[in-house]
Amino acid sequence: MSLKVAVHDRADNVGVAIDDIKAGEEVAYVYVSDKAVGGKLKALEEIPLGHKIALRDIKAGEAVVKYGRPIGVAAKDVRAGEHVHVHNLRSAKWSFGGR
């Protein structure tokens, strides 16, 4: 298992891949704010460098949190270890009828 995910804030439910992650790979994540190892998870699909991975299950309609702030809303249920990107993440503005 290798360290391949950075988490910016302890409130985050997604981390950022700091290297390409293969489907099925078990990876560790670290909290950037205090450099503490946060835990480990198994990637359910490939996560490209710089993309988000769910640290825990996120229900459809729930806020996706990065940098300690909501960055959008889950468009469908997302399982821990899944790639979080445009296919399952929507802008909060659009999700709440702002468009």
Rg (CA), the chain: 13
Query: What pLDDT does 4 receive?
Result: 97
How many Å apart are CA 29 and CA 76, to the nearest integer? 24
Query: What pLDDT does 91 receive?
Result: 86
Question: Could you report the per-residue pLDDT of 1-38, keeping only the tens digit for each?
Answer: 899 999 999 999 999 999 999 999 999 999 998 878 88
Model pTM score: 0.90
Assign 80 to helix, strand or coil. coil
Phi-psi sector, 63: left (phi>0), alpha (psi -120 to 50), beta: beta
Tokens for 18?
Answer: 């700091």
Question: Could you report the per-residue pLDDT of 60-87, keeping only the tens digit for each?
Answer: 999 999 999 999 999 999 999 999 999 9
How many Å apart are CA 80 and CA 65, to the nearest integer? 14
Domains within the chain, CATH numbers bracketed: 2-95 (2.30.130.110)
